[in-house]
Structure 1
Amino acid sequence: MREIHHRVKNNFQSVQALIRTQQLPKDMQQSLLDRISAMIAVHEQIYSHDQFSAVSAKALIPAVVDTLIAACGDRVSVTYDIEDIAITADHATPVALLANEIVTNALKYAFHGERKGVISISLKRLSGRRACLVIADDGIGFDKTISAAGMGTRLVRGVISQLHGEHIYERRDGTVFTAELEIVALPDTKS
């Protein structure tokens, strides 16, 4: 299993290399590369920690987000408050894509120009298999009507649906994204 996940990760990296050779608009190309990086992070977590049925949220989410934040230099920082929740392997990729998309939106819309800011990410277990993910920024706020039909919005809706969840965006000293998701691997189940 370790070898399979390692090969999948390498295949994703090959796809990234192919995308870089294409004549795509720069923002579209970067968006694709970031989404693939989120999927790569899942497979790295699985094979490097021998976690084949579940992935640690405490390790996965920073692995996805820190790559995005690093591209901003010291302009944007991130704080984490993530419980050590085991996310089912089947749900790890959707969670990674969701975190990638919400943080990418914050970086794209909340901090125009050289504006500095902070993104806060929290994941807390609720009951049963449910957990609450909160991603907040202290930026200028997100106008969800502007990008209501964009690829990112469709991706967020699809992932939320796949994770049997619900979500809301609120404007409170920036933008707050809150989602309740079914992602927790229960000890007595095989996922």
Structure 2
Amino acid sequence: MQSRTIKDAATRKSLATMLERIEALSTVHRRLYQSKDVSRFDVADFARDLVTDLLTASGRSEIKSTLDLEPIVISAEKATPVALMVNELVTNALKHAFKEKPDGTTAGRIGIKMSQPDGHFNIEVSDDGVGMADASGDASFGMRLIKSLARQLHADIEWRDAGPGTKVVISMPNEPQQKGNVS
């Protein structure tokens, strides 16, 4: 309601971006409190819901998603930073990757893959858009937020040219209790 009364477009845009982050956090907390074990968080289910919600909210029906999500459960304390990173990466792809192409279309694909190879929990967010000019810079708040959250999780993060598009790979150590069935 408040954003509708603000005349400055940059301020309105900033508030809208903040609201998207708050909604991602709200989804995490709702999922935690609805689960049987509030100390554990199913990242794959969250990612599936988040991507669907973000694509729907963007109104960009021409952008499709490809999800390759292993069932992965993490501790509740890691849920918020992981959720915020996934939210930022998907939101950034929706905002920046799919500019109008020479043929006049803006269609594209966003992919999310979550896996647990060799003692790590990996998240890959990719798009087939225009690619990133400079992923090493700290130009945007979103980029700084992602890097800060990765440090908090002791995760490595890498931006790759996916030609076409961009792939971001986040790799963090697995928690010992993640292996096998969750009890």
Give the TM-score category using the shorter length. 0.7 to 0.9
1:180 maps onto 2:171 in alignment: yes
Distance 1:75 1:118, change over 3 A: same
In the TM superposition, residue 146 of structure 1 has moved relative to its aligned partner by: 8.9
1:152 maps onto 2:142 in alignment: yes
What is the CA–CA distance in structure 2 between the aligned matches of 1:99 and 1:185, rounded to whole Å?
22
What is the CA–CA distance in structure 2 between the aligned matches of 1:184 and 1:35, rounded to whole Å?
25
What is the CA–CA distance in structure 2 between the aligned matches of 1:118 and 1:164, rounded to whole Å?
29
Please list every run of 5 or more consecutive structure 2 residues that lacks an aligned counterpart in the other structure.
none
Two-structure CA RMSD over aligned residues (Å): 2.3
SS in 1 for 2:177: coil
Q: For 1:53-92, list aligned pairs within 5 A.
A: 53-70=39-56, 71-92=58-79
Select which of 12, 25, 28 maps to 1:42.
28
Distance 1:82 1:187, change over 3 A: closer
The one-letter code of the counterpart of 1:92 is: A
In the TM superposition, residue 36 of structure 1 has moved relative to its aligned partner by: 0.5
CA contact (8 A) 1:88 1:185 kept: no
Please list every run of 5 or more consecutive structure 1 residues that lacks an aligned counterpart in the other structure.
1-16
Partner of 1:116: 107
Q: TM-score, normalised by structure 2?
A: 0.83
Give aligned pairs, total: 171
Q: For 1:8-19, list aligned pairs within 5 A.
A: none
What is the CA–CA distance in structure 1 between the aligned matches of 2:82 and 2:176, rounded to whole Å?
13
Distance 1:42 1:22, change over 3 A: farther
The one-letter code of the counterpart of 1:53 is: S
Distance 1:153 1:133, change over 3 A: same
Q: TM-score, normalised by structure 1?
A: 0.80
Farther off after superposition, 109-118 or 149-158: 109-118
The one-letter code of the counterpart of 2:92 is: N
Q: For 1:95-110, list aligned pairs within 5 A.
A: 95-110=82-97
Select which of 121, 127, 130 maps to 1:140.
130
CA contact (8 A) 1:86 1:184 kept: no
CA contact (8 A) 1:87 1:185 kept: no
CA contact (8 A) 1:54 1:87 kept: yes
CA contact (8 A) 1:80 1:122 kept: yes
SS in 2 for 1:66: helix
SS in 2 for 1:115: coil
Farther off after superposition, 58-67 or 118-127: 58-67
CA contact (8 A) 2:3 2:12 kept: no
Farther off after superposition, 164-173 or 42-51: 42-51
Q: How far does the alpha carbon of each residue in 1:11-54 deviate from its partner, in whole angstroms, 9 at most, with x for none? A: xxxxxx6x646636232122101111110110111112233111
In the TM superposition, residue 143 of structure 1 has moved relative to its aligned partner by: 1.9
